[in-house]
Structure 1
Amino acid sequence: MKRREFIVALAATATFPVTTAFAATNADILTVHKDPNCGCCSLWADAYEKAGYRVEIVEEGDLLAIKQKLGVPLDMQGCHTAVYRGQFLEGHVPLEATRMLESRTDLAGLVVPGMPAGSLGMGDDPSATYDVIGVGKDGRTSVFLEVRPKI
C-alpha cells in the first residue's frame, strides 16, 4: 500500500464513527425531568454526561404527572425521572444498570426507590447498598441489580 492510500484509508476510518455511529437521535438523549431546586438530580445528570451520555435537563413543576404517564409505580418513586431510548430511569439509577437495560426491551424502566445514601448523585460511595428494581411493561417489578460494596 502506498503512503497516500494509507493516509486516505486512515482518514476515512477515523471520520466514519463520528459521522455515523455517534450521530445521535432524540432517542439517544437522556432527558432528565427534575425539580428546579434539587441539587442531587443535577449531580446524577452530571455523572451521566461525564460518562458520555447526551443529557437534557427539563425543570418540571409537576413531576407526578410525568411519572404517572411513564408508569413509574407510585410506591417506588424517586426524586427525578429520566427517559432514555423509550425507557424510564427513576431516581438514582447507577450507570451500569442503564447499560444493562439497553438489552431488556421487556422492561418499561428501572427504579431506585427513595434516595439511598451513597448512590449515584447521593455521595457516590462504593460501600453503598441498595437495589435497582426493574419495572416490566406489564407493571410487574423485580430486582434487576443488587448494588453491593465491591470488596
Structure 2
Amino acid sequence: MRKQNKPLTILMADDDDEDYMLTVEAFQEARISNPVYRVKDGEELMEYLLLEGKYSSREEAPLPSLILLDLNMPRKDGREALQEILAHVDLRRIPVVVMTTSDAKEDISRCYEIGANSYIVKPITYEGLVKAMRLLGQYWLEMVELP
C-alpha cells in the first residue's frame, strides 16, 4: 500500500448534484477519505485546472491526482474537456476516468481514442456505486504510482 505525505486529491466534473452526493457518500462508505473537489461543467473544469476565473490558487483548487469526468455536461461536455486536458502539456499526466451513464459503444470508443485512462458506466444501484468507488480507490489511489 502506498505511503504518502498528504491524501491525493480527486476532482469530479459532474453537473448532477445527486450523482455528486452519492459518489461522495460511496467513497466514504468504501473508506476512501481523499478530498473530493467538484466542478459542474467542462468550462469550470478547465478554469479549475488552469487557475482561471474564480480559481486563483492551488490552495483553493489543488491540482488533482485523479479526475472523474462525466460526459454530458452543459457549456462544454466531457469529450471536449478531455481533449483539452490531454492537449495541455502540464495536465496530460493526470489520469482521467470517465464516469458516466452512457454505455454507448461510440462514447466508449471515442473516449479511449481521445486518451481516457478508464471508462466506467455509473452503476444503477447505490451498492454497485459503493463497490465501483471501492475498486476505483484501491486501484487509482492505492496501487498505481501517480506523478
More strand by share: 1
More helix by share: 2
The one of the two structures with greater contact order (alpha-carbon pairs below 8 A, sep at least 6) is 2
TM-score (norm 2): 0.35
Q: Give the greater-gyration-radius structure (CA).
A: 1
TM-score (norm 1): 0.34
